[in-house]
């Protein structure tokens, strides 16, 4: 009998993947470690998702206190409406999980802050509800390195794929030589 070769089951698929940008807000970013990298990589991922025409959602935690989304990120999210939340997990963010399901989303890519609070709780709730979760380690962070590292470990232990922005974009592309590939290659440079 001939062996049947398969693709890796957890590879991101364009027809079922969305990006979730969590709480990249003006007033919290100054105290986040590597905040410039987090903003830069998040913007690049948003740009890539736009090139691929994939859905993007974003949240703001208590905007009255933490302000609105960072200007660089907000510029890339023009035309989208933030989902306001008071709960740490995006599970409590309006009807977000229902919207994901209604759009046949089975994989969610995560960027945002803080890794050990809102990001972690959202990842755990997404996993509990059967979503595949990919966390962009270079586009999430916390106020301390220890919180960031422990959160990544915990997310990985519970089944999240911890990866990078560039890896996510090329995984979604699958092939080179297309107009999308050229656009994304410029984004990641």
Q: What is the CATH number of the domain that holds 133?
A: 3.40.50.850
Distance of CA 43 to the CA centre of its chain: 11
**Would the pLDDT of 126 be above 90?**
yes
**Would the pLDDT of 109 be above 90?**
yes
Q: Are 24 and 113 in contact (CB under 8 A)?
A: yes
Q: What is the pLDDT of residue 159?
A: 97
Q: What is the pLDDT of residue 92?
A: 83
Once rounded to an integer, what is the mean pLDDT over residues 87-108?
92
Q: What is the pLDDT of residue 65?
A: 83
Distance of CA 68 to the CA centre of its chain: 18
Residue at 3 is within a domain = no
**Would the pLDDT of 20 be above 90?**
yes
State the virtual CA torsion across 89, 93, 99, 101 in degrees, nearest 10: 30
Residue at 37 is within a domain = yes
DSSP alpha helices (H): ranges in 89-164? 96-102, 120-128, 145-157
Residue at 7 is within a domain = no
Residue at 4 is within a domain = no
Q: What band does 9 get if pLDDT is binned at 50, 70 and 90?
A: confident
Residue at 9 is within a domain = no
Q: Which domain holds residue 93?
A: 14-188
Q: What band does 94 get if pLDDT is binned at 50, 70 and 90?
A: confident
Q: Which listed residue (10, 11, 15, 23) is catalytic?
A: 23
Q: What is the pLDDT of residue 158?
A: 98
Q: What is the pLDDT of residue 5?
A: 87
Residue at 87 is within a domain = yes
Residue at 6 is within a domain = no
Residue at 2 is within a domain = no
How many structural domains does the chain have?
1
Respond yes or no: is residue 13 known to be catalytic: no
Respond yes or no: is residue 118 known to be catalytic: yes
Respond yes or no: is residue 85 known to be catalytic: yes
Q: What band does 24 get if pLDDT is binned at 50, 70 and 90?
A: very high
User: What pTM was estimated for this model as a whole?
Assistant: 0.95
Q: Which listed residue (41, 90, 118, 138) is catalytic?
A: 118
Q: Which listed residue (85, 90, 125, 138) is catalytic?
A: 85
Residue in the structure block whose two tokens are 């740009």: 47
């Amino acid at each position: 009998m001939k062996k049947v070769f398969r693709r890796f089951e957890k590879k991101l698929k364009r027809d079922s993947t969305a990006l979730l940008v969590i709480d990249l807000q003006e007033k919290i970013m100054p105290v986040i470690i590597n905040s410039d990298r987090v903003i830069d990589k998040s913007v690049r991922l948003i740009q890539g998702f736009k090139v691929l025409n994939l859905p993007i959602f974003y949240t703001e935690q208590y905007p009255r206190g933490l302000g609105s989304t960072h200007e660089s990120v907000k510029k890339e999210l023009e035309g989208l409406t933030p989902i306001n939340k008071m709960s740490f997990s995006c599970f409590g963010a309006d009807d977000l999980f229902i919207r994901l399901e209604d759009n046949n989303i089975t994989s969610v890519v995560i960027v945002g802050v803080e890794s050990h609070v809102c990001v972690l709780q959202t990842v755990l709730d997404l996993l509990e509800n059967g979503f595949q979760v990919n966390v962009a380690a270079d586009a999430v962070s916390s106020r301390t390195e220890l919180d960031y590292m422990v959160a990544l470990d915990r997310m990985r232990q519970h089944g999240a794929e911890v990866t990078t922005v560039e890896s996510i974009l090329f995984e979604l592309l699958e092939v080179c030589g297309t107009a999308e590939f050229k656009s994304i290659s410029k984004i990641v440079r």
